[in-house]
Structure 1
Amino acid sequence: MRSSIDYGHGIVAVDSGFVRPMLDAVHLVVEGGRAAVVDTASNESVPHVLAALAERGLSAAQVDWVMLTHVHLDHAGGAGAMMAQFPNARLAVHPRGARHMIDPSRLTAATIEVYGAEAARRMYGDIVPVPADRVVEMPDGATLSLNGRRFEFLDTPGHARHHACIVDERTGHIFAGDTFGLSYRELERDGRHAIFPSTTPVQFDPPALHASIDRLIARAPGAIYVTHFGQVTDVQRCAADLHRLIDAHVQLALDCRDAGPGRGEGLREGVRAMLLEEARRNDWPVSGQALFDLFELDIMLNADGLAAWLDAGAPGAGR
């Protein structure tokens, strides 16, 4: 597997090494000898990012920004460790997420609740706090500059209330975290990108997610970069698929609402069935058990997110 993918325009997807190859990207942006990192994955990503910088003749001191789309630990778990390596960098993050980077105790507790203590420790290790004076809150419409290259933060709830998408004004491309779903490289066929939504617990909000996707598409980006994994270019078609699949997840949840003790397995089976149907519909090169293995973590998280949404009263189900 490739350790990185260079998309031009100074944008590189670096494989973080989290869980499996090509699951979790750290995007590197280079502009005139200065660099920014978009999302950090876990602590294990730090040597991979340092190596990617070195391959481009850059040192850790030349990183000016670490930009987070949101603070779920597969996106932000390595932020503190990475900031410790980047002496001149500031951390740009949604206002709702800033406090969790400064004091990650509640974030860690929430992660343990989802994964269990042993798995959370194995996946993420110790979450390092970021000094408050290095954290910059980025509300909707806020911009920052990387050596003259401007980036705009958009408030994009739906996956999480602390989610932002980041517009690169130089290219018009957008770093979308999980708002624009999952697009694993193993599922590409003849340059056609696969797409599947992420309904991770505990703040899945279907109407907000639909609206956030529409907001991205209204910018007419030539490309969108998702953390899982890399560049998506057929954005109109992928957006339509995401809308359809979000609605399918909602219907699955409502169908399982009164399933009692079997609800969790019913939700997981429903997500698996959706994956098989998408593989058939789009002629993905991976199907069956291999597809389930590829999405093992996502099947669990999507099902758990739907369960959390039901437990919250299924807000927005009628909209």
Structure 2
Amino acid sequence: MNYFFVFQNKTFYEEYHGGYLWAPQYGNTGRKEAHWEKMKEIRRGDVIIHSYKKQLMAISIAQKDVYAAKRPTELPNEWQQEGWRVDTMYIPFTEPIITSDYKEELLKLQPQTYAPFNRLGRGNMGYLFKANKPMYEFIIRQTAEIQKTEQEKQRILELLDQGKRPQVAVSGLEIMMELEEANAKQLSSEKLAIQIKSGKSKKSQKTETVVYYRSPYVKEMVKKIAEGKCQMCGVEAPFYDKDNEPYLEEHHVKRLADGGSDTMDNVVAVCPNCHRKVHVLNNEADTIVLEGIAEQNERQYQRLLLYAEKIEK
């Protein structure tokens, strides 16, 4: 597990709501910058500390290895299109600490090279820098101290375990899902429909966390039905992924952890912003809307399946 520190003075709220980090691969002159190149080092399970105008707003956990991706449409257009993206799970702080209040301590704890702060304790010019475990643990403890409720303090202190936890090994189930996803992307809508019908749900696996099976065929089908638009807000996908496909995320209306099914009548395709909104707000009205959309997806899938079975005969 590695630690990073990101300055998001221009992009924190866009990246927070989208659940990602993004940096261009080159500057406008075609030159590579070390603070952007640092993105290429992030791997799944790494920890990122988020700074916005001297406030440490959140930490996050990388959900995937870094990958090449177009600039999200919500970000300023002052950067070129080609970039590096990391999908990450943000954990925000209710009361953030201010870095200038802990200047001396942070200078002593930060790494010797590619560190976020200069010798005067000011933030270095750039986006992403190295951090380390002692720096992370100090920030967590100091942030916990200024929270206004005991509950919030304990929630933040629990994040210390993140620094002690080894990087989660990829389970056999996850490897299988990755292979199935690669196959699913090559199938037509008709072939996907047949595969979904004939496929059997795999059992979850428990390593350090429970891994729930999510059918890549269901995921690909619901994205095809969405036709590149978020099924919640109706807006086109914010960017194209590395396969040049509109980037949408599958969402299970009833969570798998709560007994929800990995079937077409429980899955919708949404943009990263709406996906984050649904999980953060957990709004009953949104759930009702999504249940209706999932039912429509099921009906469309059944019509497609009927057609696919006819042409196979």
TM score, norm. by length of structure 1: 0.30
Q: How high is the TM-score relative to the length of structure 2?
A: 0.30
